[in-house]
Amino acid sequence: MKYGYVRVSTKDQNVERQMTAMRGANVPMENVFIDKISGKDFNRPAYLRMVRRLDSGDELFIKSIDRLGRNYTEIIEQWNLLTKEKNLDIVVLDFPLLNTKNHVNGITGKFIADLVLQVLSYVAQVERENIHQRQMEGIREAKKSGKKFGRPPAKMNRDFEELAYLWRNGLISMRGASNQLGVSHKTFAKWARDKVD
């Protein structure tokens, strides 16, 4: 059986481009599973339903590898589950090297796809590390030039002293006092500590 998996990140994004690709691959529309949810992990309702339905020998079509997920470590885990444990073929329509049905000079598509995924995973990891390093370098340079990060501290309301007195004497709760001041109870607690110090 042929199955298709389509994913967009939000409910208002359009799936038609991916659905056109599914029709082009002759995937029966009743076998296409659609998630409108982030690809940060594989805890997705339609994906999980589809995996339960898949049997050995079935074929799974996806438009591109990022429709399967964003995290290459998890993609590789799912890929192994689908191709090795469930014994499926996977076809990534816009990336022919990720087609486990192909055989090139006696080398199976599953072997080639596994190698390609490992390379993609390595490249993605290096890119994540490079992005993190560039961010840290940028933050260091910005701090050197006096840039402040984070939310500016809340200004202490002039009613604080009176509410702090009521709170210290058990006449009002901390949450009640902080609500009256329009700040979080954590801010109120910090102000109270700072006044004691």
CATH code assigned at 7? 3.40.50.1390
Indicate the pTM of the whole model: 0.62
Domain's final residue, options 71, 97, 122: 122
| In a shared domain, residues 94 and 175 | no
- Does 131 fall in a domain? no
- Does 78 fall in a domain? yes
| In a shared domain, residues 105 and 54 | yes
Q: Is 9 a catalytic residue?
A: yes
Q: What burial letters (b/e) apply to 8-33, b meaning 16+ CB within 10 Å? A: beeeeeebeebbebbeeeebeeebbb
- Does 80 fall in a domain? yes
| In a shared domain, residues 117 and 166 | no
Mean pLDDT for 53-73 is 89
Of 9, 38, 64, 121, the active-site residue reads: 9
Could you tell me the residue range of the domain that residue 192 belongs to?
A: 160-196
Q: What's the total number of domains in the chain?
A: 2
| In a shared domain, residues 102 and 166 | no
Mean pLDDT of the chain: 85
Per-residue pLDDT of 71-113, as tens digits, reads: 778 888 888 888 888 999 999 998 888 888 876 666 677 777 7
**pLDDT value, residue 146:** 82
- Does 185 fall in a domain? yes
- Does 104 fall in a domain? yes
- Does 57 fall in a domain? yes
Domain's final residue, options 100, 122, 144: 122
| In a shared domain, residues 91 and 186 | no
Specify the higher pLDDT residue, 59 or 186.
Answer: 59
Distance CA 4, CA 156 (A): 57
* Helices (runs of H) and strands (runs of E) counted in the chain: 8, 6
